[in-house]
Structure 1
Amino acid sequence: MSLQAYQQAATRAESPREMEYRLFAQVTLALIDATKIDPTEIHRRVDALDWNRRVWSALSDDCANPANRLPPPLRASIISLAHWVGRHTSAVIRRQEEIEPLIEVNRLIMQGLAPNAAAAAA
Protein backbone atom coordinates (compact mmCIF):
# COMPACT_ATOMS: atom_id res chain seq x y z
CA MET A 1 0.00 0.00 0.00
CA SER A 2 1.40 3.40 -0.91
CA LEU A 3 1.91 6.05 1.73
CA GLN A 4 -0.76 8.24 0.16
CA ALA A 5 -3.30 5.40 0.19
CA TYR A 6 -2.46 4.67 3.83
CA GLN A 7 -2.90 8.34 4.77
CA GLN A 8 -6.27 8.49 3.00
CA ALA A 9 -7.45 5.32 4.77
CA ALA A 10 -6.27 6.65 8.13
CA THR A 11 -8.03 9.98 7.55
CA ARG A 12 -11.32 8.24 6.72
CA ALA A 13 -11.08 6.18 9.90
CA GLU A 14 -10.45 9.20 12.15
CA SER A 15 -13.15 11.10 13.94
CA PRO A 16 -13.11 14.91 13.64
CA ARG A 17 -11.73 15.07 17.18
CA GLU A 18 -8.91 12.68 16.26
CA MET A 19 -8.10 14.71 13.14
CA GLU A 20 -7.93 17.88 15.22
CA TYR A 21 -5.66 16.14 17.71
CA ARG A 22 -3.37 14.95 14.88
CA LEU A 23 -3.26 18.45 13.35
CA PHE A 24 -2.34 20.00 16.71
CA ALA A 25 0.32 17.32 17.22
CA GLN A 26 1.86 18.10 13.83
CA VAL A 27 1.84 21.87 14.20
CA THR A 28 3.11 21.66 17.78
CA LEU A 29 6.00 19.45 16.69
CA ALA A 30 6.83 22.05 14.03
CA LEU A 31 6.85 24.75 16.74
CA ILE A 32 9.10 22.60 18.95
CA ASP A 33 11.49 22.15 16.03
CA ALA A 34 11.41 25.93 15.48
CA THR A 35 12.62 26.51 19.05
CA LYS A 36 15.85 24.75 18.08
CA ILE A 37 16.59 27.37 15.43
CA ASP A 38 18.47 30.51 16.42
CA PRO A 39 15.89 33.27 17.07
CA THR A 40 17.85 35.61 14.78
CA GLU A 41 17.03 33.28 11.87
CA ILE A 42 13.35 34.19 11.93
CA HIS A 43 12.87 33.34 8.25
CA ARG A 44 13.53 29.68 9.20
CA ARG A 45 11.05 29.83 12.09
CA VAL A 46 8.23 31.64 10.30
CA ASP A 47 6.82 28.58 8.53
CA ALA A 48 5.92 26.87 11.81
CA LEU A 49 4.69 30.10 13.38
CA ASP A 50 2.54 30.94 10.37
CA TRP A 51 1.12 27.41 10.18
CA ASN A 52 0.13 27.58 13.84
CA ARG A 53 -1.47 31.00 13.36
CA ARG A 54 -3.43 29.69 10.35
CA VAL A 55 -4.69 26.68 12.34
CA TRP A 56 -5.94 28.98 15.09
CA SER A 57 -7.44 31.39 12.57
CA ALA A 58 -9.39 28.53 10.98
CA LEU A 59 -10.62 27.45 14.42
CA SER A 60 -11.69 31.02 15.16
CA ASP A 61 -13.55 31.28 11.85
CA ASP A 62 -15.28 27.97 12.51
CA CYS A 63 -16.31 29.04 16.01
CA ALA A 64 -17.66 32.34 14.68
CA ASN A 65 -20.01 30.45 12.36
CA PRO A 66 -23.55 30.47 13.84
CA ALA A 67 -23.99 26.85 12.69
CA ASN A 68 -21.16 25.69 14.96
CA ARG A 69 -22.64 23.35 17.57
CA LEU A 70 -20.09 23.89 20.33
CA PRO A 71 -21.44 25.66 23.43
CA PRO A 72 -21.23 29.46 23.00
CA PRO A 73 -18.86 29.96 25.99
CA LEU A 74 -16.42 27.40 24.54
CA ARG A 75 -16.63 29.01 21.11
CA ALA A 76 -15.90 32.41 22.65
CA SER A 77 -12.92 30.99 24.54
CA ILE A 78 -11.48 29.46 21.36
CA ILE A 79 -11.92 32.74 19.48
CA SER A 80 -10.21 34.59 22.33
CA LEU A 81 -7.31 32.12 22.32
CA ALA A 82 -6.99 32.49 18.56
CA HIS A 83 -6.66 36.26 18.94
CA TRP A 84 -4.01 35.77 21.62
CA VAL A 85 -2.13 33.30 19.38
CA GLY A 86 -2.11 35.88 16.59
CA ARG A 87 -0.77 38.64 18.84
CA HIS A 88 1.79 36.39 20.53
CA THR A 89 2.99 35.04 17.18
CA SER A 90 3.59 38.58 15.94
CA ALA A 91 5.58 39.29 19.10
CA VAL A 92 7.66 36.13 18.57
CA ILE A 93 8.43 37.21 15.02
CA ARG A 94 9.53 40.62 16.36
CA ARG A 95 11.70 38.71 18.91
CA GLN A 96 9.77 40.24 21.81
CA GLU A 97 8.37 36.90 23.05
CA GLU A 98 9.27 33.22 23.05
CA ILE A 99 7.61 30.33 21.18
CA GLU A 100 7.10 28.15 24.28
CA PRO A 101 3.74 29.68 25.37
CA LEU A 102 2.31 28.81 21.95
CA ILE A 103 3.49 25.23 22.41
CA GLU A 104 1.96 25.08 25.88
CA VAL A 105 -1.43 26.31 24.68
CA ASN A 106 -1.42 23.74 21.89
CA ARG A 107 -0.51 20.99 24.35
CA LEU A 108 -3.40 21.98 26.60
CA ILE A 109 -5.78 21.82 23.64
CA MET A 110 -4.36 18.41 22.73
CA GLN A 111 -5.04 17.18 26.27
CA GLY A 112 -8.68 18.17 25.83
CA LEU A 113 -8.86 16.44 22.45
CA ALA A 114 -7.07 13.27 23.54
CA PRO A 115 -9.16 10.07 23.25
CA ASN A 116 -9.08 9.49 27.02
CA ALA A 117 -10.38 13.05 27.55
CA ALA A 118 -13.30 12.33 25.22
CA ALA A 119 -14.18 9.18 27.18
CA ALA A 120 -14.01 11.07 30.49
CA ALA A 121 -16.32 13.79 29.16
CA ALA A 122 -18.94 11.26 27.99
Structure 2
Amino acid sequence: MNKNDHARSGYRAAATPIRTQRDTEYQVFAQVTHRLKAIDEADKSNFPQIAQAVFDNQRLWGILAEDLMEDGNGLPIELRAQIISLAEFVRRHSLAVLGGRASVSAL
Protein backbone atom coordinates (compact mmCIF):
# COMPACT_ATOMS: atom_id res chain seq x y z
CA MET A 1 0.00 0.00 0.00
CA ASN A 2 1.50 3.33 -1.02
CA LYS A 3 1.08 6.63 0.84
CA ASN A 4 -1.89 7.74 -1.29
CA ASP A 5 -3.75 4.46 -0.74
CA HIS A 6 -3.04 4.70 2.97
CA ALA A 7 -4.39 8.27 3.10
CA ARG A 8 -7.54 7.28 1.17
CA SER A 9 -8.21 4.38 3.52
CA GLY A 10 -8.33 6.82 6.44
CA TYR A 11 -11.12 8.78 4.76
CA ARG A 12 -13.02 5.67 3.74
CA ALA A 13 -13.83 4.88 7.38
CA ALA A 14 -15.09 8.43 7.95
CA ALA A 15 -17.36 8.16 4.89
CA THR A 16 -19.27 5.26 6.45
CA PRO A 17 -22.87 6.40 6.97
CA ILE A 18 -23.95 6.99 10.54
CA ARG A 19 -26.93 4.89 11.58
CA THR A 20 -29.71 6.43 13.56
CA GLN A 21 -31.49 4.56 16.33
CA ARG A 22 -34.46 4.13 13.98
CA ASP A 23 -32.17 2.65 11.28
CA THR A 24 -30.78 0.18 13.80
CA GLU A 25 -34.25 -0.80 15.03
CA TYR A 26 -35.41 -1.34 11.44
CA GLN A 27 -32.37 -3.47 10.66
CA VAL A 28 -32.91 -5.69 13.72
CA PHE A 29 -36.62 -6.16 12.94
CA ALA A 30 -35.78 -6.92 9.29
CA GLN A 31 -33.17 -9.53 10.26
CA VAL A 32 -35.44 -11.29 12.75
CA THR A 33 -38.41 -11.21 10.37
CA HIS A 34 -36.29 -12.57 7.52
CA ARG A 35 -35.15 -15.48 9.70
CA LEU A 36 -38.75 -16.28 10.66
CA LYS A 37 -39.89 -16.19 7.02
CA ALA A 38 -37.02 -18.44 5.92
CA ILE A 39 -37.99 -21.26 8.29
CA ASP A 40 -39.21 -24.52 6.81
CA GLU A 41 -41.61 -25.73 9.50
CA ALA A 42 -42.28 -28.98 7.66
CA ASP A 43 -38.69 -30.09 8.30
CA LYS A 44 -38.77 -31.19 11.95
CA SER A 45 -34.95 -31.24 12.07
CA ASN A 46 -35.14 -27.43 11.88
CA PHE A 47 -36.53 -27.14 15.41
CA PRO A 48 -33.34 -25.62 16.88
CA GLN A 49 -33.38 -22.90 14.19
CA ILE A 50 -37.12 -22.37 14.68
CA ALA A 51 -36.66 -22.08 18.44
CA GLN A 52 -33.78 -19.60 18.10
CA ALA A 53 -35.64 -17.40 15.59
CA VAL A 54 -38.81 -17.44 17.72
CA PHE A 55 -36.80 -16.68 20.87
CA ASP A 56 -34.98 -13.78 19.19
CA ASN A 57 -38.28 -12.36 17.93
CA GLN A 58 -39.88 -12.70 21.36
CA ARG A 59 -36.88 -11.04 23.00
CA LEU A 60 -37.02 -8.15 20.52
CA TRP A 61 -40.71 -7.55 21.23
CA GLY A 62 -40.04 -7.83 24.97
CA ILE A 63 -37.36 -5.14 24.81
CA LEU A 64 -39.70 -2.95 22.79
CA ALA A 65 -42.51 -3.42 25.34
CA GLU A 66 -40.17 -2.52 28.22
CA ASP A 67 -39.14 0.65 26.43
CA LEU A 68 -42.77 1.57 25.81
CA MET A 69 -43.56 1.27 29.53
CA GLU A 70 -40.94 3.87 30.45
CA ASP A 71 -42.23 7.29 31.50
CA GLY A 72 -39.83 9.00 29.11
CA ASN A 73 -41.19 7.26 26.02
CA GLY A 74 -42.49 9.95 23.68
CA LEU A 75 -45.13 7.94 21.84
CA PRO A 76 -48.80 8.62 22.56
CA ILE A 77 -50.12 6.38 25.34
CA GLU A 78 -52.77 4.79 23.10
CA LEU A 79 -50.16 3.78 20.51
CA ARG A 80 -47.90 2.47 23.26
CA ALA A 81 -50.75 0.32 24.59
CA GLN A 82 -51.45 -1.08 21.11
CA ILE A 83 -47.80 -2.01 20.53
CA ILE A 84 -47.57 -3.58 24.00
CA SER A 85 -50.65 -5.62 23.09
CA LEU A 86 -48.81 -6.85 19.98
CA ALA A 87 -45.82 -7.77 22.15
CA GLU A 88 -48.13 -9.83 24.38
CA PHE A 89 -49.55 -11.58 21.30
CA VAL A 90 -45.99 -12.39 20.18
CA ARG A 91 -45.20 -13.82 23.63
CA ARG A 92 -48.29 -16.06 23.71
CA HIS A 93 -48.05 -17.14 20.07
CA SER A 94 -44.34 -17.90 20.44
CA LEU A 95 -45.12 -20.34 23.24
CA ALA A 96 -47.74 -21.98 21.02
CA VAL A 97 -45.23 -22.27 18.15
CA LEU A 98 -42.62 -23.84 20.41
CA GLY A 99 -45.27 -26.22 21.74
CA GLY A 100 -46.17 -27.30 18.21
CA ARG A 101 -49.68 -25.80 18.44
CA ALA A 102 -49.23 -22.88 16.04
CA SER A 103 -47.38 -21.77 12.93
CA VAL A 104 -44.52 -19.30 12.75
CA SER A 105 -46.29 -17.42 9.96
CA ALA A 106 -48.31 -15.16 12.30
CA LEU A 107 -45.12 -13.90 13.91
Greater CA deviation, 38-47 or 82-91? 38-47
1:99 matched to which residue of 2?
Answer: 104
What are the Cα deviations for residues 34-69 of structure 1, in whole angstroms up to 9, with x where unaligned? 235624642231110000000000000000111111
Q: Shift of the alpha carbon at 1:79?
A: 0.7
Conservation of the 8 A alpha-carbon contact between 1:37 and 1:44: no
Corresponding residue of 1:76: 81
Q: Percent identity?
A: 36
> Could you say which residue in structure 1 is the equivalent of 2:4?
none
Measure the CA separation in 1 of the matches of 2:44 and 2:96. 12
* Among 88, 92, 96, the residue aligned to 2:93: 88
- Gaps of at least 5 residues in structure 2 are 1-8
Residues in 1 aligned to 2:38 and 2:76: alpha-carbon distance in whole angstroms: 34
Q: State the partner residue of 2:5.
A: none
Structure with higher helix content: 1
Counterpart selection for 1:45 from 46, 50, 60: 50
TM (norm. structure 1) is: 0.69
For the pair shown, the structure with the greater C-alpha radius of gyration is 2
Tell me, yes or no, if structure 1 residue 16 matches structure 2 residue 21. yes
Stretches of structure 1 that go unaligned for 5 or more consecutive residues are: 103-122
Equivalent residue pairs, number: 95
The letter of the residue matching 2:37 is I
Q: CA RMSD in A?
A: 2.1
1:30 partner amino acid = R
